[in-house]
Each structure stands twice: as structure tokens, then as C-alpha cells.
Amino acid sequence: MSSKQEFFDEATNRQFMEEDSEAWNAICTILLTIISIGLGLAFLGVYLTM
């Protein structure tokens, strides 16, 4: 008996992986955009205080 259980067939697993990949790409894009805006505002704040 295998310790790894397959709940879905290979095609369904592949579809789930593709959807997960798209979701993570969207999340990472949003987070990097927020970080970039924050860094831009931080540099602007430092520049304006000089």
C-alpha cells in the first residue's frame, strides 16, 4: 500500500497546479507593487527632508 494517496487524477492535479501558479503570481505581483510604492514614498520623504 502506498503512503501517498492520489485524490484526483493527473489532469486535475495539473489543472490545480496551473491555477495555484496563476494565483501566486498575482499575489506576488500585488505584494511587490506595494513594496515598490512604499520604497518610492520612503525615498521621496528622505529627499524632501534634505
pLDDT in tens, 37-50: 999 999 999 999 99
This prediction has a pTM of 0.70
Which pLDDT score, from 0 to 100, does residue 6 have? Answer: 77
- CA dist 10 and 28 (Å) reads 27
Q: How confident is the model at residue 1 (pLDDT cuts 50, 70, 90)?
A: very low
CB-CB contact of 43 with 50 (8 Å): no
| Average predicted confidence (pLDDT) for the chain | 92
Average pLDDT score over residue span 2-7:
68
